[in-house]
Amino acid sequence: MYKLVSIGSVKPAKRLSLWDVLDLMEEILRSWRVPSCVRVRDSEVVEGVEVYWALRNLGASLLPVGSETNCSVSLEKLGFFDDVSPRRDTRVYHDIRDLLRASWPTPLLQLKSYSNDTIRVWAKLEWYNPISLSIKDRTAWWILESLNEYTRIKGKVVADATSSNFGIALAALARKYGGRARIYLPKSAGQLGRKVARLMGGEVFEEGGDMTVDLIPRVVEDSKRHGYVHANQFMNDENFIAHLRFTAKEIHFQARESRLKLAGIAGSVGTSGHMAAIEFYFRSVAGGEFRVIAAQPARGDTIPGIRRTETGMVWLNLISKNIEVIDVTLEESLEAIKKVAREDGILIGPSGGAALAALEKFVGEGADTMEDYVAIIPDTGYKYLDML
């Protein structure tokens, strides 16, 4: 026998990293069950700490507590989809963080421009995140949540290198935890990132680096010298975890509830946080046949927010096994934006255009039977009017 307790009501005896429990997480997703219960003494998880961390990273609401070794519980019973189910409320909020959470799941919109007799393409509209109007609200919020649990952000400066969207979300949210953000923008960042991050109360450093990653050594040095907390979106595993337990799981939930025959997901890569998490999640629940496609800028081209995989991406390199990386030119991405604008009536950003262009190249002539694909659209085209 076992009982179910809220995962937030207990504490683990020790902290385990993502890498300690990655295989277990994969096994849990594949079998859709936890293999064993945990033991709790005085609200502390004393046995099965791995199960605790695997379920916590995956975003289950409940933990199976019991003494039998042979106790296997389905994810359904553990409130696995609680966090990503739409809320029915009055849509009145006291805090931007509540509004952010209530924005999920972000919508899936069928794109007629990319659908045909055998393929339906669905755009996941990440600008429905309310702060940076981009997918990066998820990363910034979750990184700050986890930092705050262990480091307390109140009174501190949280620093990071960013191409813009993450910096905007970090600047706004750091203040909600009683801290401030200092963001490091590369030369390529546009006016929007600079202005909005400042308006949101962030301090902006903008003297170096062609690419965002070039600024990381400076952030590390300044953090050491001045005692900043380095959010470290490029290496902090909470970035990957945020997209695993929210973005990837949301798509699973939405596809299941709408009875889509989901065959693949296309996106683009910057830190690789969201696409590596999506690949890990769907490889585990749907198997190796599931297609995951990541757009990277063609050699010599620049597409805002994304970069080539050989410039180094921790999760894509160390976790993803089944991801097709496809080169897309800036022109192809801009063509995709125009096609969607004219035929579907929405204005997507360039990395979303790149995801669609990569999907089109990969899928080619199409399938024999009706299949569904999701394209992740990280932000809105309204930010890039000068490019269009």
Which is nearer to ligand PLP, 129 or 163 (by Cβ)?
163
What end-to-end distance do the CA atoms of the chain give, in Å? 61
124 binds ligand PLP (CB under 6 A): no
| Binding residue for ligand PLP, selected from 272, 320, 333, 380, defined by CB under 6 A | 272
Which is nearer to ligand PLP, 254 or 272 (by Cβ)?
272
Please, what is the minimum distance in Å from the beta carbon of residue 314 to ligand PLP? 11
Tokens 């995962």, located at residue = 7
Closest CA to 232 of 332, 131, 144: 144
193 binds ligand PLP (CB under 6 A): no
DSSP string for 226-279? HT-EE--TTT-HHHHHHIIIIIIHHHHHHHHHTT--EEEEEEE-SSSHHHHHHH
Please give the Cα distance from 225 to 228 (Å, whole number): 8
Please give the Cα distance from 346 to 357 (Å, whole number): 16
306 binds ligand PLP (CB under 6 A): yes
Work out the burial of residue 63: count CB atoms within 10 Å of its CB; fewer than 13 is exposed, 13-18 middle, 19 or more buried. buried
Which is nearer to ligand PLP, 129 or 134 (by Cβ)?
134
Cβ-closest position to ligand PLP: 305
How many residues sit close enough to ligand PLP to count as binding (CB under 6 A)? 20
268 binds ligand PLP (CB under 6 A): yes
Which is nearer to ligand PLP, 163 or 236 (by Cβ)?
163
Please give the Cα distance from 83 to 102 (Å, whole number): 10
Please, what is the minimum distance in Å from the beta carbon of residue 306 to ligand PLP? 5
Please give the Cα distance from 273 to 186 (Å, whole number): 20
Please, what is the minimum distance in Å from the beta carbon of residue 184 to ligand PLP? 13
| Binding residue for ligand PLP, selected from 179, 186, 193, 378, defined by CB under 6 A | 378
Please give the Cα distance from 169 to 113 (Å, whole number): 31
| Binding residue for ligand PLP, selected from 36, 129, 148, 163, defined by CB under 6 A | 163
What are the residues binding ligand PLP (CB under 6 A)? Answer: 134, 136, 163, 165-166, 268-275, 304-306, 349, 351, 378-379
